[in-house]
A and B are shown apart, each in its own frame.
Chain A
Amino acid sequence: GAVVSQHPSRVICKSGTSVKIECRSLDFQATTMFWYRQFPKQSLMLMATSNEGSKATYEQGVEKDKFLINHASLTLSTLTVTSAHPEDSSFYICSARVDRENTEAFFGQGTRLTVV
């Protein structure tokens, strides 16, 4: 299957700083990538849809100024958590699909963010 690589896998940062998470599709081009957030023992909640060459589409309740998404190429999307606070601590995971529909979603390894 297709491979999605996410980096870093773990990051600890201080309150007020920003953190960038990268998501790469290694063997296919992804015009669309998705960013999810998962709290302990909860489901994956879709945060935003990252579109190559255009603005990301955010889900209701997600602050677009806090979670900056850039999809500069067909193989790379980045999520930047700006001015991080302890409540932003979570598991962030990206996914991509080879085709827009009818295919499985391939996931990155996830990033465990801890804000201290």
Chain B
Amino acid sequence: QQPVQSPQAVILREGEDAVINCSSSKALYSVHWYRQKHGEAPVFLMILLKGGEQKGHEKISASFNEKKQQSSLYLTASQLSYSGTYFCGTERAGTDKLIFGTGTRLQVFP
């Protein structure tokens, strides 16, 4: 079953922050985050493996709450290049399938 992301869309001014949530109805082994520009392949941002794990990548960080089966992506001081659609990808223990969430479309304006 596909993870649900919220919000569906976000509009930001440069320098503003945003949070994107990913929620699964099934137990998760790991969570991936990707960003996709229109007509292009998704680009890997980060992977979180353990419950409670947090990771950072420049001004983009994420957390993973294994018990709640949720992950959040934090975008701080957004840049124009952050625009795109963000997908979480989840995998369950014992399977190497990556199932993508519903997606969050992010637009950053000057």
A residues neighboring B (CB under 8 Å): 1, 32, 34, 36, 41-46, 49, 91, 93, 95, 97, 100-110, 112
Contacts and interface: CB of A to CB of B under 8 A. Distances in A.
A111 to B, nearest CB: 11
A110 B40 CA distance: 7
B contact face: mostly helix, strand, loop, or mixed? loop
Given A34-B97, A34-B98, A44 B87 contact: yes
Interface of B: 2, 29-30, 32, 39-42, 44, 47, 49, 87, 89, 91, 96-103, 105
A44 B7 CA distance: 17
Nearest to B41: A107
Nearest to B2: A43
14 contacts: A32-B96, A34-B97, A43-B2, A44-B100, A45-B100, A46-B97, A49-B96, A97-B96, A100-B96, A102-B47, A102-B49, A105-B32, A109-B40, A110-B40
Most chain-B CB neighbours within 10 Å: which of A95, A101, A104, A110? A104
